[in-house]
Structure 1
Amino acid sequence: MTTPRPIRFVHQGQLKAVSGLPPTTTVLQYLREHARCAGTKEGCAEGDCGACTVLVGELDAEGKTVELRNVNACIQFLPMLDGKALLTVEDLGGSADLNPVQQALVDCHGSQCGFCTPGFAMTMQAIYERHQAAGTRPERQELADDIAGNLCRCTGYRPILDAGERMFEAPARVLDREPIAQALRTLRDDPSLHYEAPSRTGAPQRVFAPRSVDELAALREAMPQARLVAGATDVGLWVNKQQRELGDVILTGRVDELRRIDAGPDGALRIGAAASLEDAWAALTARVPALRELWLRFASPPVRHAGTLGGNIANGSPIGDGAPALIALGARIALRRGASRRVLPLEDFYLDYMKNALEPGEFVEALEVPALRAGTRLRGYKLAKRYDSDISAVCAVLSLRLEDGVAREARFAFGGMAAIVKRAAKTEAAVNGRAWDEAAALAAAQALREDFTPMTDLRASAAYRERAAANLIRRFWLETRANAPLAAESASVWQAINLQRSVA
């Protein structure tokens, strides 16, 4: 194993070297308690409110410039910053020299109590930088989608969205990334991170961040009991909310091979297990536009920037939204242990509640998604109490191929209906090989009762889940029937509201 060393990253224009702090110290704790940067606030400590939003910068693949993404500092562990740059609200500008984002928030009265404002400013800075680099301006709805991970409890979002539009009217003033890039280039020569320090309870704890998939495979095989951590968007809550000890940790986020998304000549996708949720969903949606709404409603942008699709799949939550989409697409999961590899259909990976087919020392290497066959109809539906950034009560991704009006290859995957995400086998059988008409949709809805016995919990009752899931099958038929199919936006509450406004 490598020699232990400090965590090294760029902050406030300087190279920082941190040692001695517990490995599960969050970036937020470091900022407020050790770096004395109190502009970043703590709200929920679980990645929901966005008060702690910061920007994390990494060199692009060519090492030429710095890519910035907004993430939640409260669920990012400090070792995850190794080799990266950290920017906070203190980096934007002082009271005597506000930058366009800050000035727009002032001019549009986008702040009252001010607690959430630093987080909004950081998210808006990320938006500003992205669009200035591309020479574009976001539509108001795009701004709303981008700030979905930041909550305001007193101002309301209208003046904040006004500020998001106003910030592009001032003379352009982007962050100077070249000094950051130069500093990050010096960190590329550092060896893979091996960090050791007492845990929060005083027990010895080690963190490893391998740089290659072979190094990761060797570490995982040698340390099968170590905790694999990708984006910590779930594991971070174990520490913050449940006060759990993680033991030794292996981070996957520095393995470039696992962050790649490759398209095959046949249109298939291979999504590395450490590719971010944002990048993975963008690639999926580019090929299957019907998944776009599911993408936008899958957590918030800061969570999607930090979390990974591979981690979401490996976690195996029965209410996760990634698995239904991938199972409906016929995805396979690539597993590795040492030098050995195997591939399974994703639906075979889940065995029981929070139990999967991983063997000791094995890890998820990639997700393989085949191209859709001609004639395939697919829709993704999410039902939740809140539209943005909420956990599904029911998630359904329904796919079938139509051949001369006959349903073939139905793949109906549901989350929230059982102890695991799974296909509705009897429901699929009820439609396969028969004309795709209203009678087939009704038969499928009835068969659904034989596939699932949903439970009642805080998100929904069993009766609601059963009825809503059956209704989604009917909606799927309405949107894919041969005669006068219903446009997807016709069932959108937002489209209905906009229509009412236009009529008024």
Structure 2
Amino acid sequence: MIDFLFNGRPRHCEAAPETSVLELLRETLGTTGTKEGCASGDCGACTVAIGETGPDGELRYHSANACITPAHQLNGRHLITVDGLADGSGLHPAQAAMVACHGSQCGFCTPGIVMSLFTLHEERRRQADRALAPLTPQRLEAALGGNLCRCTGYRPIRDAALTMNEHPEHRPLWMDAAAPEPKAQHAADESSFAQPTTLAELIECLARHPEARLVAGATDLWLESTQRLVRFERLIDVTRVAELNVIEETTLEDGREGWWIGAAVTYARIEPLLEEHFDAFAHLLHRLGSSQIRNRGTLGGNVANASPIGDTPPVLLALGSRLRLVGPKGERELPLEEFFLDYKRTALQRGEAIRAVFLPRPVRGETLKVWKLSKRREDDISAVLGAFAWRLEDGVLYDVRLAFGGMAAIPKRAARAEAALEGQAPDAAAFLAAREALAEDFQPMSDVRGSAEYRRLSAANLLERLRLVIAQAESDSPREVMLHAYAH
């Protein structure tokens, strides 16, 4: 059973494990303001706002794609849709601004756009008592990048976003009400959707049901339901496990400093950390997926998914990350490069799960570059992704780590290319040898995202781009190797 507040009213619903929030809205609750567009988290027509109380006791709303959000994850949360924004006859500023700026034409995508504007407005409203940062083009793009509209050309929607604060603050009081107390659903219940809240409960669930599918952000898993119509017999939701939701700064036994990122920590939560220490990784997040996806997706889930074209594993490989695994037999750690065995096969044993991902702090002089090639600039799957880390000391390359996605059945480091550069000056001869070594490191396949030849050439070109970047950094030239578009 799911207990939550829906547009301010308590709801108690029963649903199958594979039920999405969108299905619950339209088929169970009979509320049709939220639309289905792509059913894969791409178009944003189904965007809703989900509110939860943080550790500081403050209620925060985030945007989410209802089509790929498990309905059971609403347990103990607020759910707000376009149907509930108005305060009587008074429109919410997001609605009023869209009307005033003529931001809607056919109207199909409008509910999702309004909800993205709502969460943007709520975030800025919380900042009202602090120094309110200006709404930059980058922030606006981040908020609306996951909403597609074929009619308006986006200009009136942009105008609406910029003028929301000019409209009266009509806002139902229930939006600030405390969320209902969630009722834990764990192994002892023998429910088809378990929702443990502690690591001990998760381990119990894994011991009882090692065959169960684990779900966190569901940004990939739920496509099995929406696209392939798979029915999930049993799911274990890891998003409520307290120990999987922490970011812990630590020092390993080998002296490396860094952070253990809990497997249920979302991209949105780690973004400030990445912006401070890993600028290239932070930029990648904006190309990984929309705000709706980053609010839901997790680093642990992206690793556990073991896709050869997952965006974050190559970066983590280049950084030298580790994993902490947990299961009925206890905990163990291993280097990330030992986790991926073959296509969609990992070192996870039966009944095990990822507890945390170790993100090493950059050492002095270390540089990270990440470049993603995809058909769309944003919100698209990689054809090829290259992540490169190195140190340049006295004109010589050290600690070279070159990792690629889309070049093999698993995310993988280019060991031979690394050896060709290690201890060498970053000159044309060394990089020529590295590009030639790539042919021995990888034999990519052809698919709808690119031919094998395209991938080989693209990966080699990314190494050449790396050479040019290093050369430019060592010069006084203000020229860029290539135009640096936002979030590229």
Q: Same fold (TM over 0.5)?
A: yes
2:149 paired with 1:156: no
Name the Cα RMSD after superposition: 2.1
2:367 paired with 1:367: no
Deviations 1:434-455 (A, max 9, x none): 1122322222112111111111
Q: How does 1:144-223 map to 2 (within 5 A)?
A: 144-172=141-169, 176=173, 179-181=176-178, 184=179, 186-188=180-182, 190-192=183-185, 206-223=192-209
Per the alignment, residue 297 of structure 2 pairs with 307
- How far apart, in 1, do the equivalents of 2:55 and 2:44 lie? 28
2:483 paired with 1:492: yes
- How far apart, in 1, do the equivalents of 2:238 and 2:349 lie? 18
Deviations 1:191-223 (A, max 9, x none): 445798xxxxxxx97110000011101211221
Q: CA deviation at 1:14?
A: 2.1
Per the alignment, residue 9 of structure 2 pairs with 14
Q: Report if aligned partners of 1:13, 1:179 keep a CA contact under 8 Å in 2.
A: no
Per the alignment, residue 111 of structure 1 pairs with 104
The one of 230, 255, 264 equivalent to 1:274 is 264
Per the alignment, residue 501 of structure 1 pairs with none
Per the alignment, residue 214 of structure 2 pairs with 228
Q: TM-score, normalised by structure 1?
A: 0.90
- How far apart, in 2, do the equivalents of 1:222 and 1:488 lie? 60
- How far apart, in 2, do the equivalents of 1:488 and 1:211 lie? 52
- How far apart, in 1, do the equivalents of 2:209 and 2:48 lie? 32
Equivalent position amino acid for 1:289 in 2:
D
Gaps of 5+ in 1: 1-5, 197-203, 496-504
- How far apart, in 1, do the equivalents of 2:426 and 2:164 lie? 51
Q: CA deviation at 1:372?
A: 1.0
Q: Report if aligned partners of 2:86, 2:170 keep a CA contact under 8 Å in 1.
A: no
Q: Secondary structure at the match of 2:317?
A: helix
The one of 311, 320, 324 equivalent to 1:321 is 311
- How far apart, in 2, do the equivalents of 1:382 and 1:179 lie? 40
2:115 paired with 1:122: yes
Cα–Cα, structure 1 residues 103 and 179, in superposed 2: closer, same or farther, change >3 Å?
closer
Q: Report if aligned partners of 1:381, 1:397 keep a CA contact under 8 Å in 2.
A: yes
- How far apart, in 1, do the equivalents of 2:291 and 2:476 lie? 32
Deviations 1:136-182 (A, max 9, x none): 3311232012211111111121111111111133355566466522x
Q: Report if aligned partners of 1:53, 1:118 keep a CA contact under 8 Å in 2.
A: yes
Gaps of 5+ in 2: none
Cα–Cα, structure 1 residues 106 and 179, in superposed 2: closer, same or farther, change >3 Å?
closer
Q: TM-score, normalised by structure 2?
A: 0.93
- How far apart, in 2, do the equivalents of 1:486 and 1:346 lie? 38
2:235 paired with 1:245: no
Moved more, 44-53 or 204-213: 204-213
Q: CA deviation at 1:244?
A: 1.3
Deviations 1:97-151 (A, max 9, x none): 2121111111211110000001000011111111121233311232012211111
- How far apart, in 2, do the equivalents of 1:434 and 1:24 lie? 53
Q: CA deviation at 1:33?
A: 1.5
The one of 41, 54, 57 equivalent to 2:35 is 41
Q: Report if aligned partners of 1:58, 1:85 keep a CA contact under 8 Å in 2.
A: yes
Deviations 1:380-433 (A, max 9, x none): 000011101011110111011112111111110100011000000000000001
Deviations 1:226-256 (A, max 9, x none): 1111111111110111111222111101112
Q: Secondary structure at the match of 2:295?
A: helix
Count of residue pairs brought into register by the alignment: 477
The one of 81, 91, 94 equivalent to 2:84 is 91
The one of 302, 315, 320 equivalent to 1:330 is 320
- How far apart, in 1, do the equivalents of 2:457 and 2:28 lie? 52
Cα–Cα, structure 1 residues 486 and 277, in superposed 2: closer, same or farther, change >3 Å?
farther
Q: Report if aligned partners of 1:430, 1:444 keep a CA contact under 8 Å in 2.
A: yes
Q: How does 1:59-78 map to 2 (within 5 A)?
A: 59-62=53-56, 64-78=57-71
Q: CA deviation at 1:293?
A: 2.1
